[in-house]
Amino acid sequence: MSFLSLAHVSKLYGKNYAVEDLSLDVQKGEFVTLLGPSGCGKTTTLQMIAGFAEVTSGSISLDGRDITHAKPNDRGLGVVFQSYALFPHMTVHENVSFGLEMRKTPKAERLDRIKTALGLVHLEAYADRYPRELSGGQRQRVALARALVIEPQILLLDEPLSNLDAKLREEMQFELRRIQRKIGTTTIMVTHDQSEAMSISDRVVVMQAGKITQIDHPHKLYEHPRSTFISTFVGKANLLKGLINKTGAAGHVDIKKIVIEVANLAGENGQSICLSLRPEKITIKPSGQGRVDGVVSVRYFLGDRWIYYFNTALGELIVVTPNSNQDQLIENSRCGLWWEPDSLKVVTEQDAMQ
């Protein structure tokens, strides 16, 4: 039995669905992320779980208890908002204490739990400071401690890292996962940042236009995207369209009159097909030694890697290579591009606006 279960949940605003017929089961102790572009319904889903948005249809249950229409403060959930929502006139200690005071927790127990929560987020020395005296990362930690101190059944995180700079954001991703693993609290996070979702989640729920399009472990989601939308939203991808041309036991696809081998290809001869090829799966070879030749049109240096755009007979291909000690390619260089047949994944064509 699932710890949290959303069964055919929908949310209407007027005649428009923000979330439509969404079903999701979350196990106890899991870290699940709702990932998708702005307006896809992920925050609305989180708000329905929290009780901040009324469910139009469907049901939500927590540990066997129906909470579909329960008040937010009766659900036993901890929430960390994008803005942190700290009380500016209260110290760190007072902010963390607030939820316990509202629950009339005895003082001795309250002090012990506050100390434990601040220890989890490494803020014991900042207990007497006010939010204005803290950095963005420290304020985020206070908001997390305030949510955890009430010992919630589920922790809900609404874009919790979006206000941080890039370096601090990456550090806090792993800190957030460390804390979650240590205490074992079931956690649901909302984000539009695919790298954030992929790096710390047990499972990622990709949403589009109010519906779930794929639920998978991050590695499987990246390696086996179901649609063109997912393959390009979760990382970069080269999309190749062609026609199936099976030859004997092998599978081949004709793309702009070039025959490409594809592993485990299913379908009928002449059938239209779309393939996804990740840029890092392509190896640069000397001209004439690849599956297709290409000419570098532009390149970008990102510190740990290079991104090359090649003009080829198959169309433009993106190639990502690590920043190694080898000489890097210059624009107008001609090279062969090689990939293994099983690097090509069949995807369903699905526009991002559908």
pLDDT at 351 over 70: no
Do residues 317 and 235 make contact, with C-beta atoms less than 8 angstroms apart? Answer: no
pLDDT in tens, 74-122: 998 999 988 878 999 999 999 999 999 988 999 999 999 999 999 989 9
**What 3-state class would DSSP assign to 44?**
helix
Give the CA dihedral 71, 16, 46, 73, nearest 10 degrees: -10
pLDDT in tens, 259-282: 899 988 888 888 999 999 999 999
Do residues 253 and 273 make contact, with C-beta atoms less than 8 angstroms apart? Answer: yes
Strands (E), 183-341: 186-191, 203-208, 211-216, 238-244, 252-255, 258-261, 272-277, 283-285, 292-301, 305-312, 315-322, 334-338
Can you read off the two tokens belonging to residue 332?
């107008």
The DSSP call for residue 353 is T
Strands 57-62 and 4-13: antiparallel
Q: Which of 84, 161, 148 is nearest to 114 (CA)?
A: 148
Mean pLDDT of the chain: 92
Do residues 168 and 133 make contact, with C-beta atoms less than 8 angstroms apart? Answer: no
pLDDT at 354 over 70: no
Domains of the chain, first to last:
4-228 (3.40.50.300), 283-338 (2.40.50.140)
Distance CA 237, CA 220 (A): 15
- Mean pLDDT throughout 180-187? 93
pLDDT in tens, 209-224: 999 999 999 999 999 9
- Mean pLDDT throughout 145-173? 88
pLDDT in tens, 61-72: 999 999 999 999
Q: Which of 274, 344, 284, 291 is nearest to 320 (CA)?
A: 284
pLDDT-based confidence at residue 248 (cuts at 50, 70, 90): low
Q: In what order do the strands lie in the sheet with 283-285?
A: 283-285, 334-338, 292-301, 305-312, 315-322
Do residues 207 and 36 make contact, with C-beta atoms less than 8 angstroms apart? Answer: yes
- HEC readout, 145-167: HHHHCCCCCEEEEECCCCCCCHH
pLDDT-based confidence at residue 250 (cuts at 50, 70, 90): low
What is the structure's pLDDT at 247? 67
pLDDT in tens, 123-139: 999 999 999 999 988 99
Strands 31-35 and 203-208: parallel
